[in-house]
């Protein structure tokens, strides 16, 4: 009985030690994530949208370059490292506008075409032809599940919220009509529309997922 008690105590101590170690690791990771989030918010920028002519020139140049074939899923640290780099400042110069959602206190730049660098800096367009206030204006963005980071707050948007999209010198206000989670294979959300529509698309989780949050808004 004494041996059994001794073994039990050793086992309990081992389990307790492992639990403490695990909690310490989680604590350190939480602290690092918090620090990265604060750093991102401090350095993230949205420049004043360019003129219509500048927007056209940027789009012509961007769409001539081959877009990344595979989109990476960046970590918060990778986003923060990018946002504090010289490359980020260079990428910002290629923004063609911005998307602003007052109810979420969200404002990020819009870039022409979708690649990994653009997605680390803001929202990206689906096609070269899309124009605010005409047809279906589609924007993609990363969800890091961190408040104030890129499209992380999109899953929390409420029906009736206003979304202002500025491209070049044109600004259009939309009102959110629907929010749903769909399969990544659901491509009908990208189809053109008769009404002036805005479609915001992001992953439903920060980790690997095959589902997307799709927010649809109609011009006000």
Write down the catalytic residue from 13, 19, 142, 156: 142
Q: Are 161 and 44 in contact (CB under 8 A)?
A: no
**121 Cβ neighbours under 8 A, 6+ residues apart:** 82, 83, 88, 91, 92, 95, 109, 111
Q: Does the pLDDT of residue 13 top 80, yes or no?
A: no
What does the pLDDT read at residue 28? 47
Overall fold of domain 44-219 = Sortase; Chain: A; (2.40.260)
Write down the catalytic residue from 13, 19, 43, 203: 203
What does the pLDDT read at residue 40? 60
Q: How far is CA 70 from CA 34, 67, 116, 127, in A?
A: 28, 9, 8, 17
Tens of pLDDT, residues 44-90: 667 777 888 888 777 777 766 555 568 889 999 999 999 999 999 99
Does residue 142 have an active-site annotation? yes
Tokens read off for 123:
């929202």
Does residue 48 have an active-site annotation? no
What does the pLDDT read at residue 156? 96
Tokens read off for 116:
């990994």
How much of the chain, in percent, has pLDDT values that exceed 70?
76
Q: Does the pLDDT of residue 2 top 50, yes or no?
A: no
Locate all alpha helices (DSSP H) within 44-136, ordered by sequence: 52-64, 76-83, 86-92, 116-121
**180 Cβ neighbours under 8 A, 6+ residues apart:** 213, 214
Report the sign of the C-alpha dihedral through residues 210, 119, 201, 74, in that order. positive
Average pLDDT over residues 109-132: 93
């Amino acid at each position: 009985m004494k041996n059994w008690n001794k073994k039990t105590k050793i086992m309990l101590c081992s389990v307790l030690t492992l639990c403490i170690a695990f909690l310490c690791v989680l604590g350190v990771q939480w602290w690092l994530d918090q620090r990265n989030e604060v750093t991102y918010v401090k350095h993230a920028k949205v420049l004043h949208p360019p003129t219509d002519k500048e927007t056209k020139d940027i789009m012509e140049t961007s769409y001539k370059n081959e877009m990344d074939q595979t989109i990476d899923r960046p970590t918060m640290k990778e986003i923060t490292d990018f946002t504090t780099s010289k490359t980020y400042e260079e990428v910002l110069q290629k923004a063609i506008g911005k998307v602003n959602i007052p109810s979420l206190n969200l404002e990020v730049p819009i870039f022409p075409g979708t690649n990994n660098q653009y997605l680390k800096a803001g929202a990206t367009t689906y096609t070269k032809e899309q124009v605010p206030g005409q047809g279906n204006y589609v924007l993609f963005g990363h969800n890091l599940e961190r408040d104030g980071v890129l499209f992380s707050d999109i899953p929390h948007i409420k029906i009736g919220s206003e979304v202002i999209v500025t491209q070049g010198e044109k600004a259009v206000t939309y009102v959110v009509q629907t929010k749903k989670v769909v399969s990544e294979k659901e491509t009908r959300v990208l189809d053109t529309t008769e009404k002036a529509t805005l479609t915001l698309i992001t992953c439903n989780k920060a980790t690997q997922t095959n589902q997307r949050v799709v927010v649809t808004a109609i011009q006000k």
